[in-house]
Structure 1
């Protein structure tokens, strides 16, 4: 990745973070909210709100957040640690009732933390929180270890909205590196788009631009379990948004089973892998 492309990718990721924060703020304002994020509106800023208003509202966003919240809390123990990969404007260290002995590591570009730290500097944190400045498309494990990551402690890895911003080789490397660092009993949570996303008409300009520039396409797969199995994770399972455990009354019901050969439909996979 060239410096120009790297800067553009970072800017896009930060902009997406503000949009997602605006979606969390919108959800927080609902009387039937799925979670409470009192910092989301400030983190979104005017640009995040404008992006959300200009786009069609996607009810998947609050469902994804609530789904991962529940999975994190079920997996968290007094001796566990959480690693938020591509943390962006995530506020889980502040808003989730994690054990006080739990350490949350947030990994992202330095730019992603600039405004966030200014806004959250006086916010009470639920547990130990440490920020790691690193590019997840390059070497990142040394920074995490230097921040105090304990390889003997079970870890909850969270990659929410991250994999689409990685190339296939980087996604494979990330999964392998996380497994290599993990103690027995660790969990990896991720959402991964199916290949049908790249076939959408709205994705055509991005796909064409990437191909003409000789750059890899955003990572998508219809075999997320195979990705994690190859990366060293012993067990993995997926659900799709809309299934009973990932619905919360907000999405249309979808079948519990899926046709592995059907790759033309737009699918999203919520994956849980374990060691």
Structure 2
């Protein structure tokens, strides 16, 4: 896969996880918070919290977190395995009321767990939690299986904020591999940006640098259903931020298409794919 092997690339991805943790910390401090994450502040670090606090409020991040929280809790009633792909600073095994028979597998770089495990050392997970040290840019299924993952049990796969870091071929491979490891009834939850993201002005330097270096662009699509159908998933439903299921009083109905005229290519797709 195209998540690069260089230490600086790992550090950049881990840094993004801390940024998202900062968003959770700020949301948790609100009186009208959509969730509570008491560990997010330490996981983010004071510098990232301060930087995000000084920036304009972005309701998408807490809405996305709450949306995935709700979907995971609903699915966990019927699935006893949850795999967090590119888990980063995720704390759902600690903060969500998951049933005891449930096992959460967190898959990410070994470096991503180093400081995280120190911070969470005295915290009590709500269910069985297993850290899987694997780089999603290379072979990772063996490490997951070695950690006790059972392909015969239905599974909830969660890819929150991950697809942006993949190239198109890598995204297809990930979806296909998860389907191959899944029992009937398994689901895949993901958020995927529309192609309009790459045309935004602030993305121009990244796009130009990637093209000059001959590197693939971040994965975006306006047809997530086709991606999952080709990957072996039986059915796919898509919700966009701002719709009733992903609003929570924070977003307008057109928030998923941020440009004038509500350009559909600027939508963020919240995907639920099912294997039957």
TM range (shorter): over 0.9
Residue 259 of structure 2 corresponds to none
Q: How much has 1:182 moved relative to structure 2?
A: 0.3
Match of 1:102 in 2: 102
Distance between the aligned counterparts of 2:207 and 2:51, measured in 1? 22
CA distance in 1, matches of 2:51, 2:143: 32
The 3-state SS of whatever aligns with 1:100 is coil
* Contact 1:27/1:62, CA 8 A, preserved across alignment: yes
Aligned to 1:123: 123
TM-score (norm 1): 0.93
Q: State the alpha-carbon separation in 2 of the partners of residues 4 and 85 from structure 1.
A: 16
How many residue pairs are counted as aligned between the two chains?
A: 271
Call closer, same or farther: CA 1:155–1:207 in 2, change over 3 Å: same
Structure 2 segments unaligned to the other structure (5+ residues): 257-261
The verdict on how the C-alpha distance between 1:169 and 1:255 changes in structure 2, with shifts beyond 3 A counting, is: same
Corresponding residue for 1:246? 246
- Which residue is 1:26 aligned to? 26
Give the conservation status (yes or no) of the 8 Å contact 1:196–1:265: yes
Gaps (5+ residues) in structure 1? 257-261
Are 1:43 and 2:27 matched, yes or no? no
Partner of 2:154: 154
Between the aligned partners of 1:263 and 1:131, the Cα distance in structure 2 is 40
- Tell me the CA shift for residue 47 of structure 1: 3.0
**1:7 to 1:74, Cα distance in 2 relative to 1, 3 A:** same
Alignment of structure 1 residues 185-264 onto 2, 5 Å: 185-254=185-254
Distance 2:3 2:231 in 1: 28
Query: Alpha-carbon deviation of 1:3?
Result: 10
Aligned residue for 1:171, secondary structure, equals helix
Cα deviation, residue 2, structure 1? 9.4
Secondary structure at the aligned position of 1:151 is classed as coil
> Do the aligned partners of residues 136 and 146 (structure 1) sit closer, same or farther apart at CA in structure 2, a change above 3 Å counting?
same
Contact 2:222 2:265 in 1 (8 A): no
Could you tell me the TM-score, scaled by structure 2's length?
A: 0.93
1:130-162 superposed Cα distances (whole Å, 9 cap, x missing partner): 001111122111110000001111100000000
> CA shift at 1:7, angstroms?
2.2
Q: Tell me by how many angstroms 1:10 deviates.
A: 1.1
Note the C-alpha offset of 1:36: 0.8
Is the CA contact 1:176–1:232 (under 8 Å) kept in the aligned structure 2?
yes
The equivalent residue for 1:141 is 141
